[in-house]
Amino acid sequence: MASLSRINTSPMARWWRNVDRVTLICVGILIGFGYILMLAASPAVAVRIGASRDMFIFKQVCFLMLAALIVVGTSLLSVRAVRILAAVGFVLGIMATALTLVHGIEIKGARRWIALPMMSVQPSEFLKPCFAVVTAWLLTERQKRRYFPGMLISLGLFGVVLLLLKSQPDIGMLSVITTVFITQLFVDGLSLFLVAGGVGCMIAAFIGAYAVFPHVRSRVERFLHPEVGDHYQIDTALRAFGNGGLLGRGPGEGRVKDLLPDAHADFVFAVAGEEFGMIVCLFIIGVFGVIVIRALLKLLRENDPFIVVATTGLVTGFGLQAFVNMGSTLHLIPTKGMTLPFISYGGSSAMSVALTIGMVLALTRTRVNTADSQFGQSTPAFLNRRPRP
């Protein structure tokens, strides 16, 4: 580490001194678990579809290596560069998501993917981090320019995202982005009354989705009434946790991967529970918790409202995605096909989550001066802000 000491003023040395190394270690741990669980879960899935046993392993190794590079590369960016990257990414994400409605691959009645050589891409995955940063930029820009319509523009962009995701349909992704947006509005100073109104609209939208989309109604009814419908996947996943016990059956000894079609993706947490046990599962949950809590704790000392609102949105989306995956597997919430960050199989998910964490690391880096921030030292501390009506 001598080359990265304080006398070294190279960009990488400064980055290493100022970045949150604990979060980097946690990301490395999750990537390690992703590789181990892919070795355990994916061969059986590949054999069932008639592919090479190592197909998913090879692809996921490439995805995880690229994800690690994205985390480091994005975390090197300045705050201004993060905003520009998010704006460009959001525009491209909107265009690509709209393209899925015309030229997308239809899987289980939904058009969410675009076919590319060797893989398919889900553009809406990249909307999550980019939307969080862009809306934070718009919402806090009005502190610099009094009559800047940041709120109205943010609501308009949210409406565009809502229409696109509803048309695919992807209610789960829409729910995550809606929760991120409402959380950002609250952190930005929106009154509790209006936040409650937003939550009410969100509940009304869920009721509407329940009434309009048969697959949503089926999942909710199966969750509320366990005695009705097909519960094969959930029952199998829960038995896997029971079979694993505290210490698990051992690497490669699990059986759930032979029974569930998405054992390498949506139900990879069940594979972890059966083969490595409850203690390892709790450790994985703890790693996710450390990443989220450390980012939020850093914001308590942050004076730049943009960094506060953007980072809050980013870690909300990251934590919520992890909760939805694990909660669905444990039957705590209705089932929803959402990947476990850095662990489940999926290129779009791995790169999107890497972009999210890279942005969080870039925004929360320790800075000697505030010239890199949006507002500088003249901005009042976040905790001393007066809420806006």
DSSP result, 63-107? HHHHHHHHHHHHHTS-HHHHHHHHHHHHHHHHHHHHHHHHHPEEE
pLDDT value at residue 380 = 36
Q: What is the mean pLDDT of residues 74-91?
A: 94
Name the amino acid, one letter, at 121: V
Element (H, E) at 352: helix 347-363
pLDDT value at residue 8 = 64
Q: In whole angstroms, give the CA distance from residue 268 to residue 345.
A: 8
Rounded to whole angstroms, what are the CA distances from 66 to 342, 350, 353, 361?
11, 9, 11, 17
Is 371 contained in some domain?
Answer: no
Asked if pLDDT for residue 2 goes beyond 70, the answer is no
- Full residue range of the structural domain in which residue 27 is found: 19-365
Asked if pLDDT for residue 187 goes beyond 60, the answer is yes
Residues 6 or more apart in contact with residue 99 via CB below 8 angstroms: 114, 123
Q: What confidence tier does 336 reach under pLDDT thresholds 50, 70, 90? A: confident
Q: Kindly state the tokens that stand for 94.
A: 């909107």
* Nearest residue to 205 via CA among 186, 223, 179: 179
* Nearest residue to 309 via CA among 157, 24, 84, 83: 83
What rounded mean pLDDT belongs to the chain?
Answer: 83
Q: What is the mean pLDDT of residues 200-224?
A: 69
Is 7 contained in some domain?
Answer: no
CB contact at 8 A, 108 and 219: no
Helix axes 214-224, 192-212, angle to 10 degrees: 100
C-alpha of 160 from chain center: 20
Is 231 contained in some domain?
Answer: yes
Is 370 contained in some domain?
Answer: no
Instruction: Give per-residue pLDDT as tens, 8-31.
Output: 667 777 887 888 999 999 999 999
Q: In whole angstroms, give the CA distance from residue 186 to residue 192.
A: 7
pLDDT value at residue 151 = 87
Name the amino acid, one letter, at 62: C
pLDDT value at residue 158 = 93
Is 389 contained in some domain?
Answer: no
The rounded percent of the chain whose pLDDT value lies above 70 is 83
Q: Helix (H, G, I), strand (E, B), or coil: what is residue 107?
A: strand
The rounded percent of the chain whose pLDDT value lies above 90 is 40
Q: What confidence tier does 108 reach under pLDDT thresholds 50, 70, 90? A: low
pLDDT value at residue 346 = 85
* Nearest residue to 237 via CA among 318, 327, 171: 327
Asked if pLDDT for residue 366 goes beyond 90, the answer is no
Q: What's the total number of domains in the chain? A: 1
Q: In whole angstroms, give the CA distance from residue 115 to residue 121.
A: 7
